[in-house]
Amino acid sequence: MSQLIPPHGGKGLTCCLLEGAALEAEKKKAQGLKKLSLSPREKGDLIMIGIGGFSPLTGFMTKADWKGVLDNFLLTDGTFWPVPVTLSASKDEAAAIAIGSEIALFDPERNEIMGTMTVTEKYEMSLADKKYECEKTFMGEGTKTAEDFWKIAENDHPGVQMVMGQKEINLAGPVKVLSEAEYPTKYAGIYMRPAESRRIFDEKGWKEIAALQLRNPMHRSHEYLCKIAVEVCDGVFIHSLVGNLKPGDIPADVRVKCIESLVKHYFVPENVVQGGYPLDMRYAGPREALLHATFRQNYGCSRMIIGRDHAGVGDFYGMFEAQTIFDKIPCPTEPGKALLCSPLKIDWTFYCYKCDGMASLRTCPHGKADRVLLSGTALRKGLSEGTPIADHFGREEVLDILREYYAGLTEKVEIKMHTAASGT
């Protein structure tokens, strides 16, 4: 009998990925359907719906669900959900699709049909609707007013750019997923479905598992966060994003090598599981922290490590806003509908020369001059520009992997330092 936390939504893992004869039959039928091209974000969302990562979702959201999530963090059936999961089409594409009809969901990059969808609703996304979604999803304490937000958001926030770049009409309806794209082969041994991670945790006899979200290579702060989690839980799930990132971020295969090196040399391997998931970053800060906890619950994790500026970008969010939002969300009383994966809140961590080790603002009494302030942004900026990396910032085994990666780049993206990353 599993001791793991149940999947979110109270319905078990709602997996829409077809297999065997059903898969072959749906693939054949899909060839004769109208094709709708997916954006990279929509592709990742579709795969997560397929493998049960977005349980209890079984398709793309209706207008009522979209609005309920933005206004109240709730789907129309009362289930907690933190961010919209939508599919867009142009006006011409939508006009050619009848309500009740089926369409094929197509990945233009791979020239592959990823799934099929029965269209149950079409709703317009006006400029005002898109702006409303952006303000609700991406506007944090770092920008006090909507006017301040829009002065910088369209140029500096990749999540805002994604939403504003969506087509004019959203389509809603249940899906059947036919493919996991390149992920099972490209990231073999790392990419996994929730059913797989749950099986691994059960085999280990674990009950309390903490997830570490990673989009940057692991530096000493990440290592410290994981070791705190190992001390208070049965194990830690180092769960890396293997979907798309913003320009200048480090690709997944390089980050995976860094994690493998760290686990090999600095962890008890039996207490760590490494995995990967197929989403694109939304850079939604607090809302994305909630999304990370929601789908980690589906992967079997009872705790979500939330440190400083989780899933942030620039100065859009307060440093610990991704922690405090967990105290403000609704808690539905109907069984299964509340978020059960709780945050493991950890203060700003750093290496302190006087403490002679890793510490946090809660444990270290010394000043800024004694601390090596650690951030993924600062690490990427130093490596990109070839400047020396501060002592105790990262493990040499990891830095060697990263230096080799940066040495092979022919084009480099300017890395902007935001306030928290610079320690000011």
Question: For residue range 21-55, what is the model confidence (pLDDT) as tens digits?
Answer: 999 999 999 999 999 999 999 999 999 999 999 99
115 SS3 class: strand
What's the whole-model pTM score? 0.92
Among residues 227, 377, 249, the alpha carbon closest in space to that of 305 is found at 227
Residue that the structure tokens 């099929």 belong to? 116
How many whole angstroms separate alpha carbon 164 and alpha carbon 255?
A: 30
Domains along the chain with CATH numbers: 20-125+166-179 (3.10.400.10), 184-422 (3.40.50.620)
DSSP summary character for residue 270? G
How many whole angstroms separate alpha carbon 345 and alpha carbon 304?
A: 8
How many whole angstroms separate alpha carbon 397 and alpha carbon 13?
A: 38
Q: What is the mean pLDDT of residues 243-254?
A: 78
Question: For residue range 296-329, what is the model confidence (pLDDT) as tens digits?
Answer: 999 999 999 999 889 988 889 999 999 999 999 9
Give the confidence band of 424 by pLDDT, cuts at 50, 70, 90.
Answer: very low
Give the confidence band of 376 by pLDDT, cuts at 50, 70, 90.
Answer: low
Please report which helix (H) or strand (E) contains residue 349, including its range. Answer: strand 349-352
Per the structure block, which two tokens stand in for 210?
């903490």
- Please give the pLDDT value at position 414: 56
Residue that the structure tokens 């009872």 belong to? 302
Q: If 0-12 CB within 10 Å is exposed, 13-18 middle and 19+ buried, where does residue 92 land?
A: exposed
- Please give the pLDDT value at position 417: 47
Among residues 114, 123, 111, 120, the alpha carbon closest in space to that of 166 is found at 123
Q: What is the mean pLDDT of residues 188-196?
A: 95
CA distances from 69 to 60, 121, 133, 221, 268 (A): 13, 17, 10, 33, 40
Average pLDDT, the chain: 92
**Are 361 and 341 contacting, i.e. CB atoms less than 8 angstroms apart?**
no
Between 414 and 92, residue with greater pLDDT: 92
Between 424 and 226, residue with greater pLDDT: 226
DSSP 70-114: HHHSB-TTS-B--S---EEE-HHHHHTS-TT-EEEEEETTTTEEE
- Please give the pLDDT value at position 413: 54
Helix axes 396-407, 376-385, angle to 10 degrees: 50
**Known catalytic residues?**
215-216
- Please give the pLDDT value at position 205: 97
Vertex 126: Cα angle to 123 and 131 (nearest 5): 120
